[in-house]
Structure 1
């Protein structure tokens, strides 16, 4: 569950440090007091959309930190390990900042992460049902996603989509081969000829480096030979050969060092110089023996270099790109040759279609029981939400194969006894939509493993006895997990295990939001305010106390 929430400089929040309890909690207060702002801040910490307008006026940065219990089951723990993120014992710490330029940063357990990683972690920890969620349920894609989540079929949906795209790709290849066989034949012929050219060239990157080095030696052979001969003459073959002079000087200083040991260091330096000069002389002789003028070999190498550079120039690429160009042509030729074989293309397309059909059938098999269970549960919930005799159905209708399977998903409802089931988007009035939408959210959340569920004014459009029933539904949901609800309904707030009042106040000429945890006396006052408005009477307080006494 959510343990604590720290908010700084977020919209009208100056600084808040909040500790949360388990069970069902109600967040109440006057309209515009900032109740939903708290959930917006939490949503930011969970990876929600951020923008510069979230930063409190006059501040540089908004900062939100949310601490959660590490859920049991190990799913999030394993994910943290896969992402090479630290696993804190018993808790998960999410942090998000937004600066005045709109730039965002995110952390998990103190380590900088991407927004996608923050969002992925948040999905393990909390679900936020917004106040406009009812209207989203009118969209066919939202209905399908909700059913697939209930069926635990998200992986199957992804597989069906991948199979569908593969099947369609192969179908396009077959059609292209049928409709453009002449141009494909010309392209195949051209590619085959180009590949033959490159194969005959037999370009090799290692060989290219070697012949360029050899060309440099051969092209400058005369200069190399002249320089080597001059150095050999100076070192060991001339009248004043350096090696001979150094050996003579070494011997002379050695005899003097016998007289004066102070010359020992000089003698060692001369001896070392003589040895190194001799080594240089021998190395240079070996080099000179190998060095020779070879005009024929030079011509061969120059022709080879010209052939390679001409080929690269012809196709307007660098020499080093020739091997990559050959692989591209080869892959394209293989594709064209495959497309020139109609039997093979048809067989590949048929295989892909069979793979798609099998995956789509598995998806359908997962959807059918989930649709039945959801239809039954929502229908039962409607009976308690002032819609006695109403019915709800998740209808699966066969359709053309697509990326999401072979059936459409449609929520249908009959709000009153004897009515025909019709599309939710066409039938439900505003109040009915609120009640049905709330029932759907509560029932689907009940099947979810997410430990924290948050409802932001989802009870809009209901009241009276129905509001009390909704409050009890949320309270039952809170028996197994942490549930929070932003509400204006006293009947819902009275069913909560704990309650906070959110209000605005003036501070140093600025408007700030404050949160007050309420004891029983405070709850009576707040619920009385929700019941009676500005003028709270003793009767209103008695009614509020009675509602709290009936909780559960």
Structure 2
């Protein structure tokens, strides 16, 4: 149940907090007062499309929130629990900026518009005057009968099965048409994979080969230069070690005072000799470890040449060959292991078709059973709405071609007068008749809905007098088992409500605002009188309004 609606800077509303109750709530106000604002704000919380025009002029964003009590809504509770958002309350919030962008939250966690719509289906049903137009389409008739039958999940499963069947059927068609191309692709892959198998390039091998090639190619030059460096360090007469030895011999014999002044120099000469000796040993080790191996060099260069040749053939870098090998091998396995085998795919298509037809036949039988009861209940509501002579029926016939929703075409037929054949709604119903037929259908649908909150937006358009009072009684009955909010211009309907919400537009200086308030009994009498007789309220009109309200309240008890 919707328990609270908070609106900030939306359309011509500055700030508004509404507490809502169960039962039937009538929403009234003069034309243009902003009744659509209430439903618009609620619609945005439920994932409807937003635009910059939603934001109150002069502000940077509109902020809307709707709180629902879901303690008795297991479907909504399960939906939230699956997303780790549990709780007995559900808070939907939507912020729309002046640039037209929007953000959404569910119980304080960021959410997508798709999430709002999916969760909203478990929380609220909105029936609008535009439903009249939707009733002229066959797909609406099919959906209503399926909802009435209570097998929405079965139809969704059938739809998914149809998409699988259609997908495999299209793939089979493409493969049948392209079998020559598939065979050519398989042969090419075999050749390419075999060539890469023979190359057998391992992970990291390319880097190793390139380093080894560089070492082997420069081995002779490296040996020569290392030997020269060794000679510089350790030549008998002119090497660095011999020269350092001579330098020490020159300084050591000096008198004690001079030798003391040169102590640091002697120390450094000694350290330099140690460093040169260590460097000489390293050079000797390098010379001893380095070998000239022209045969190994030739093999490494041939191996690298083969790697680069195959990489050029595939127009990739040499280091990408390993990944290419894996991809081509996987594709070849897919082709050779029957993933695209025509016989296997053909059998799968037949299996999916048979599964779809079996499930479609079961759903078709359920539809035919539900259609009879649905037609009877609508017929009963039409009689209640002063169309007792009209005849309503649900016609189900086989489709020319199978579709995602099954084998059936569902149409609502009506005969407004006895003796006339039943014909589609669009061909026989006048505006007023269509309004009443639409209301009858929506009341039947709502009676079987598991959604506890229903909103009716001017569904009483085109009715008046005693019929209007009956419409109010219908909505009041629905409100006795849940929460019903109805936007209406008819006092006969508003008088039946358990609660009355009045919407008023106020102009102050250069700004316009919409105010909404729950009416007490005296306020309800004045509002009903306004709806009955216009702006100027006479004693007679007020008395009529009071009598209307008292009569409807007496019926409550």
Q: Distance in 1 between matches of 2:226 and 2:520?
A: 100
> Which residue in 2 is equivalent to 1:157?
155
CA spacing shift, 1:192–1:547, aligned 2, 3 Å: same
1:357 aligns with 2:343: no
> Which residue in 2 is equivalent to 1:548?
549
> Which residue in 2 is equivalent to 1:528?
529
Q: Distance in 2 between matches of 1:314 and 1:294?
A: 31
Q: What SS does structure 2 have at the residue aligned with 1:550?
A: helix
Which of the two has higher C-alpha Rg? 2
Q: Is the 8 A contact 2:193 2:328 kept in 1?
A: no
> Which residue in 1 is equivalent to 2:50?
50
Q: How many residues align?
A: 523
1:311 aligns with 2:286: no
CA spacing shift, 1:220–1:69, aligned 2, 3 Å: farther
1:386 aligns with 2:386: yes
Q: Distance in 1 between matches of 2:162 and 2:80?
A: 32
1:39 aligns with 2:39: yes
Q: Distance in 2 between matches of 1:227 and 1:45?
A: 81
Counterparts of residues 40-439 of structure 1 (less than 5 Å): 40-85=40-85, 87=86, 89-176=87-174, 178-208=176-206, 210-212=208-210, 214-215=212-213, 218=216, 292-319=291-318, 321-322=320-321, 323-324=323-324, 327=327, 331=331, 334-335=334-335, 343-399=343-399, 400-439=401-440
> Which residue in 2 is equivalent to 1:254?
none
Q: Distance in 1 between matches of 2:432 and 2:279?
A: 100
> Which residue in 1 is equivalent to 2:483?
482
Alpha-carbon offset, residue 526 of structure 1: 0.4
Q: Is the 8 A contact 2:186 2:335 kept in 1?
A: no
Q: Is the 8 A contact 2:189 2:328 kept in 1?
A: no
Q: Is the 8 A contact 1:61 1:99 kept in 2?
A: yes
Q: Distance in 2 between matches of 1:282 and 1:413?
A: 110
> Which residue in 2 is equivalent to 1:459?
460
CA spacing shift, 1:390–1:205, aligned 2, 3 Å: farther
> Which residue in 2 is equivalent to 1:260?
none
Q: Is the 8 A contact 1:5 1:17 kept in 2?
A: yes
CA spacing shift, 1:515–1:178, aligned 2, 3 Å: closer
Q: Distance in 1 between matches of 2:346 and 2:194?
A: 30
Q: Is the 8 A contact 1:156 1:362 kept in 2?
A: no
CA spacing shift, 1:182–1:58, aligned 2, 3 Å: same
Q: What SS does structure 2 have at the residue aligned with 1:369?
A: helix
CA spacing shift, 1:540–1:197, aligned 2, 3 Å: same
Q: Distance in 1 between matches of 2:210 and 2:22?
A: 76
Q: Is the 8 A contact 1:26 1:493 kept in 2?
A: yes
Q: Distance in 2 between matches of 1:520 and 1:283?
A: 107
Q: Is the 8 A contact 2:213 2:301 kept in 1?
A: yes
Alpha-carbon offset, residue 157 of structure 1: 2.7
Q: What SS does structure 2 have at the residue aligned with 1:72?
A: coil
C-alpha distance after superposition, 1:287-309 (max 9, x if no partner):
98766554444443443333333
CA RMSD of aligned residues (A): 3.8
Alpha-carbon offset, residue 72 of structure 1: 2.2
Alpha-carbon offset, residue 439 of structure 1: 1.7
CA spacing shift, 1:83–1:173, aligned 2, 3 Å: closer
Alpha-carbon offset, residue 518 of structure 1: 0.6
Alpha-carbon offset, residue 181 of structure 1: 4.6
Q: Distance in 2 between matches of 1:462 and 1:278?
A: 114
Q: Is the 8 A contact 2:77 2:88 kept in 1?
A: no
Q: What SS does structure 2 have at the residue aligned with 1:480?
A: coil
Q: Distance in 2 between matches of 1:517 and 1:349?
A: 61
CA spacing shift, 1:346–1:45, aligned 2, 3 Å: closer
CA spacing shift, 1:393–1:328, aligned 2, 3 Å: farther
Q: TM-score, normalised by structure 1?
A: 0.83
Q: What SS does structure 2 have at the residue aligned with 1:198?
A: helix
Alpha-carbon offset, residue 503 of structure 1: 0.9
C-alpha distance after superposition, 1:385-413 (max 9, x if no partner):
12103232232211222222111122222
Alpha-carbon offset, residue 219 of structure 1: 5.5
Alpha-carbon offset, residue 318 of structure 1: 4.3
Alpha-carbon offset, residue 490 of structure 1: 0.7
Q: What SS does structure 1 have at the residue aligned with 2:67?
A: strand
Q: What SS does structure 2 have at the residue aligned with 1:15?
A: strand
C-alpha distance after superposition, 1:398-438 (max 9, x if no partner):
12222221111222222333332222222222112111111
Which structure 2 residue ranges, 5 or more long, are not aligned?
246-275
> Which residue in 1 is equivalent to 2:4?
4
Structure 1 stretch displaced more, 170-179 or 6-15: 170-179
Q: Distance in 2 between matches of 1:12 and 1:419?
A: 50
CA spacing shift, 1:313–1:515, aligned 2, 3 Å: same
> Which residue in 2 is equivalent to 1:15?
15
Q: Distance in 1 between matches of 2:233 and 2:102?
A: 71
Q: Distance in 2 between matches of 1:233 and 1:450?
A: 98
Q: Distance in 1 between matches of 2:140 and 2:281?
A: 85
Q: Distance in 2 between matches of 1:363 and 1:281?
A: 93
Structure 1 stretch displaced more, 503-512 or 214-223: 214-223
> Which residue in 2 is equivalent to 1:273?
none
Alpha-carbon offset, residue 188 of structure 1: 3.8
CA spacing shift, 1:116–1:172, aligned 2, 3 Å: closer
Q: Distance in 2 between matches of 1:74 and 1:84?
A: 15
CA spacing shift, 1:406–1:535, aligned 2, 3 Å: same
Alpha-carbon offset, residue 101 of structure 1: 0.8
Q: Distance in 1 between matches of 2:216 and 2:375?
A: 87
Alpha-carbon offset, residue 460 of structure 1: 0.9
Alpha-carbon offset, residue 381 of structure 1: 0.9
Q: Distance in 2 between matches of 1:439 and 1:365?
A: 24
Q: Is the 8 A contact 1:71 1:125 kept in 2?
A: no
